[in-house]
Chains A and B, each alone.
Chain A
Amino acid sequence: MLSNRLRLQAEELRVIRGGKEVLKGITFAVAIGEVYGLLGGNGAGKSTTLLTFLGFLDLAGGNARVNDALVSEDVVAARRSIAYLPESASLYEHLNARENLRYFLGLAGSAGDDESMEAALDRVALPAEARDRRLADYSKGMRQKVAIALAILRNTDTLLLDEPTSGLDPTAIDEFHDLVRTLADDGKTVLMVTHDVYGACQVADRIGLLRDGRLVGEFSAPAGGRIDTEAVHRAFSSREAV
């Protein structure tokens, strides 16, 4: 019964990359409508964790489930139900923002109409004059905005966001956090990777702390409140498990 309310489940996940065990048995779950922040230093295994839900990596052990189904059994179904924002906004340099959106949405099978596309670009505050320029001329933050717009337009129940605020200016970061809260309030499930403690505490309902391929702690927001930034910061900086 409980599992029916879970979107994403990692069960004793183990992954070996380049001959090195980078996930050493991770277990956590994200419930429907929840914003889960995955926090950790460089190389902790955050991006790797996201990739397992998309079926991009072979598992050395454990299970990854999306909507209760094993990812390995139907990778395409898992990918269809997830909007994924990669670590570095990976879109076509030779296309402009609109062309990129139209193309990737076409691949997703959700041909977005022009209006919703403009609305999404408005939401991420991409300047209108930039929308017809090729991405080759964009700043990192502008590309990130297009990628976020794509993730929203996918209109999936689940979003996996890998360092979504990198490259964004402080105003844009605040706007983005508001956006994530709005999505969650609409019932979307968000799994968000970051190494920004403050940002994570601002938006997440729960935070998992990842260190060297292990989940070393979890923090939950009290009812109606936010997670205590201080506590998370302390845990993040310490060498000990929480």
Chain B
Amino acid sequence: MSHVLLLAKEEWRFWLRSNLALSAAILFLVLLVTTAILTTVRIAEERHAREHHQEKAESTFLAQPDRHPHRMVHYGHYVFRTPSPLAAFDPGLDSVTGQSMFLEGHQQNSATFAVSGASADLGEFAWLTPAVVYQLFAPLLIILLGHGAVVRERESSTLATMLAQGISGVTVLYGKALALFAAILLMLVPLLVSGGAAVGRGETVLAAILMVAVYFLYLSIWGLLALFLSVLSARRATALATLTALWLALTLLLPSLAVSNAARFLPIAGQIETGLVMLSDLRKLGDGHNVNDPAFDRLRRDLLKQYGVETVEELPVNLRGVVAEYSESRLTDKLNEYADRRMAMEQKQAALLARHGWLSPLLATADASRAIAATDLNNHQRFLKEAEALRFDFVQGLNRLHASKLAYIDDIKRSSDQQAEKRTRVSGENWKLLKDFRFKPDDVGTRAGNAWPSVLALLVWFAVLSIASVRAAGRIRL
């Protein structure tokens, strides 16, 4: 054990006396700290802006004057998704999925980007987040530090001197690994700070720890790759070239191949095509504004029978309101059917992409990182579902108001009779049926569960490389 420590300390002394290692480490730190600050500020601004917009949208809705409830159905409402605390480290899908949505009767709008100046400032660089710096650039620093660990000593023959002192190749490996893992831990300090800040914003400590653990695992995999090749290579240049090629393949080539694979094997139907099919499906459901649409004949017959009356005017409820509620419900079922199908397909795509994590640790890490940060597809889809639930809830609330508070006679005369129109207005007090919308990230247990398959892939990578490295070191050659 003392030998391992001694070897590790010596490796550190070598790094500290080598300009290249030091400058690379400083460069990495600057890049990381810069992106961390920029991303944190951006997400904080977005969070603030969206919370503000949400409150404003709610108070605006509540402040609407007395009017016909169906006008409020069309007036609509906005919901905003506030970023999760760890989004400041890994915004994940948040930067490509919409964060706000306009809710109104008779349709499901798609999420759009909240209008907020903050992200526009960074323009093209918004993709450069702390998570991406760790995923993409940290391996380069590890390669730089680790590739020479053993092969450097082999080239200068100091490996013979070391081994001749009576230590085994495996001890050499452990020493070098300890040095490299200590460097990795140091590289994770900014993430630790980021995680601490997220805890300050309401994140659980467990989620922050999981995040650090995932990146430790990821960077350790790169460390082991570097050490493994360093043990095997005869020339330092060979080790460096091999590792650089691996970096290109595992962090750039494979991920982009995986993305196009996922898109090719599981294509999500184009917006316009599905839009057209859906439209014709929806037409069959009838127009909820028109009580005479044949689609509602049966509803009317059932109602008359239920209340034992002959005409719609005699009904104790407003047929227009009832039809509106009925049609909204049928329409929503149909829309949800399409939405569910699309979401299921998106889930399949995401799962296929995540399975490529068995080939590229970067993909596994990115997947686990998004899951733990609550910036993954699951959270986005839950936002869509919760927004839709809110939409359905207030639209139907308004429709029931329409059915119960408004007389049918007044309702059909209201465009020609001013008095009747006045009577179809309900008090603005009723708008309070709108519920508050505050999107919360999944609880940490759910997120850990979502991250698990990718974490497993990382663990297997780690285990296989550990075993391979120890075996190679056991048969170390001069």
The contact of B3 among A51, A54, A92, A107, by CB within 8 Å, is A107
Among A56, A91, A107, the one with the most B-chain Cβ atoms within 10 Å of its Cβ is A107
CB distance from B215 to the nearest CB of A (A): 31
Q: Are B156 and A90 in contact (CB under 8 A)?
A: yes
- Indicate whether B163 reaches chain A with its CB closer than 8 angstroms: yes
Closest to A147 in B: B161
Point out the residues of chain A lying under 8 angstroms from B167, CB to CB: 76, 79, 107
Point out the residues of chain A lying under 8 angstroms from B14, CB to CB: 92, 94
- Indicate whether B427 reaches chain A with its CB closer than 8 angstroms: no
Point out the residues of chain A lying under 8 angstroms from B7, CB to CB: 107
Among A82, A91, A93, A104, the one with the most B-chain Cβ atoms within 10 Å of its Cβ is A104
Which residues of B1-50 are within 8 A (CB) of A? Answer: 2-3, 6-7, 10, 13-14, 17-18
Asked whether A84 and B164 contact (CB < 8 A) given A94-B14, A106-B6, the answer is yes
Q: Are B166 and A91 in contact (CB under 8 A)?
A: no
Point out the residues of chain B lying under 8 angstroms from A93, CB to CB: 156
Complex CA distance for A103 and B168, rounded to whole angstroms: 16
Point out the residues of chain B lying under 8 angstroms from A82, CB to CB: 164
Closest to A55 in B: B163
Q: Are B160 and A92 in contact (CB under 8 A)?
A: no
Q: Are A79 and B165 in contact (CB under 8 A)?
A: yes
Q: Are A103 and B6 in contact (CB under 8 A)?
A: yes
Q: Are A79 and B164 in contact (CB under 8 A)?
A: yes
The contact of B157 among A77, A86, A104, A154, by CB within 8 Å, is A86
- Indicate whether B95 reaches chain A with its CB closer than 8 angstroms: no
Asked whether A79 and B161 contact (CB < 8 A) given A94-B14, A94-B18, the answer is no
The contact of B163 among A79, A94, A95, A109, by CB within 8 Å, is A79
Q: Are A79 and B10 in contact (CB under 8 A)?
A: no
Complex CA distance for A30 and B206, rounded to whole angstroms: 65
Point out the residues of chain A lying under 8 angstroms from B2, CB to CB: 106
Q: Are A104 and B18 in contact (CB under 8 A)?
A: no
Point out the residues of chain A lying under 8 angstroms from B162, CB to CB: 104, 107
Complex CA distance for A82 and B165, rounded to whole angstroms: 8
CB distance from B244 to the nearest CB of A (A): 24
Point out the residues of chain B lying under 8 angstroms from A109, CB to CB: 3, 165-166
- Indicate whether B478 reaches chain A with its CB closer than 8 angstroms: yes
Asked whether A54 and B6 contact (CB < 8 A) given A86-B157, A88-B157, A94-B18, the answer is no
Closest to A90 in B: B157
Complex CA distance for A189 and B7, rounded to whole angstroms: 29
Q: Are B165 and A108 in contact (CB under 8 A)?
A: yes
Size range of the interface on A? 20 to 34
- Indicate whether B158 reaches chain A with its CB closer than 8 angstroms: yes
Q: Are B160 and A90 in contact (CB under 8 A)?
A: yes
Contact with A along B162-182 (1 / 0, CB 8 A): 111111100000000000000
Point out the residues of chain B lying under 8 angstroms from A75, CB to CB: 168
Point out the residues of chain B lying under 8 angstroms from A133, CB to CB: none
Complex CA distance for A86 and B163, rounded to whole angstroms: 12
Point out the residues of chain B lying under 8 angstroms from A84, CB to CB: 160-161, 164
Q: Are A104 and B161 in contact (CB under 8 A)?
A: yes
* Total A-B contacts with CB atoms under 8 angstroms apart: 64
Closest to B169 in A: A75
Q: Are A86 and B168 in contact (CB under 8 A)?
A: no
Complex CA distance for A95 and B10, rounded to whole angstroms: 10
Complex CA distance for A86 and B161, rounded to whole angstroms: 7
Q: Are B157 and A79 in contact (CB under 8 A)?
A: no
Closest to B175 in A: A107
The contact of A86 among B3, B17, B18, B164, by CB within 8 Å, is B164
Q: Are A56 and B18 in contact (CB under 8 A)?
A: no
Closest to B7 in A: A107
Q: Are A107 and B6 in contact (CB under 8 A)?
A: yes
CB distance from B228 to the nearest CB of A (A): 21
- Indicate whether A177 reaches chain B with its CB closer than 8 angstroms: no
CB distance from A91 to the nearest CB of B (A): 7
CB distance from A134 to the nearest CB of B (A): 9
Complex CA distance for A104 and B3, rounded to whole angstroms: 10
- Indicate whether A24 reaches chain B with its CB closer than 8 angstroms: no
CB distance from A6 to the nearest CB of B (A): 21
- Indicate whether A98 reaches chain B with its CB closer than 8 angstroms: no
Closest to A78 in B: B166
Point out the residues of chain A lying under 8 angstroms from B165, CB to CB: 79, 104-105, 107-109, 154
Complex CA distance for A90 and B478, rounded to whole angstroms: 12
Contact with B along A53-71 (1 / 0, CB 8 A): 0101000000000000000
Complex CA distance for A93 and B158, rounded to whole angstroms: 10
Complex CA distance for A84 and B14, rounded to whole angstroms: 24
CB distance from B9 to the nearest CB of A (A): 9
CB distance from B478 to the nearest CB of A (A): 5
- Indicate whether A80 reaches chain B with its CB closer than 8 angstroms: yes
Complex CA distance for A90 and B167, rounded to whole angstroms: 16
Complex CA distance for A76 and B162, rounded to whole angstroms: 12
Complex CA distance for A88 and B157, rounded to whole angstroms: 8
Q: Are B157 and A103 in contact (CB under 8 A)?
A: no
Which residues of A88-118 are within 8 A (CB) of B? Answer: 88, 90-95, 103-109
Complex CA distance for A106 and B168, rounded to whole angstroms: 14
CB distance from A69 to the nearest CB of B (A): 14
Complex CA distance for A95 and B7, rounded to whole angstroms: 14
Q: Are A79 and B166 in contact (CB under 8 A)?
A: yes
Closest to A56 in B: B478
Point out the residues of chain B lying under 8 angstroms from A90, CB to CB: 156-158, 160-161
Closest to A54 in B: B164
Complex CA distance for A90 and B153, rounded to whole angstroms: 9
- Supply 16 further A-B pairs (C-beta < 8 A) apart from A86-B157, A93-B156, A109-B166: A76-B168, A79-B164, A79-B167, A80-B166, A84-B160, A84-B164, A86-B164, A91-B158, A91-B161, A92-B158, A103-B10, A106-B2, A107-B162, A107-B165, A108-B166, A109-B3
What are 16 residue pairs bridging A and B, where the CB atoms are less than 8 Å apart in the complex?
A56-B478, A75-B168, A76-B166, A76-B168, A77-B166, A79-B166, A86-B161, A90-B158, A93-B156, A94-B13, A95-B13, A103-B10, A104-B162, A104-B165, A107-B7, A107-B167
Q: Which B positions have Cβ atoms within 8 angstroms of A?
A: 2-3, 6-7, 10, 13-14, 17-18, 156-158, 160-168, 478
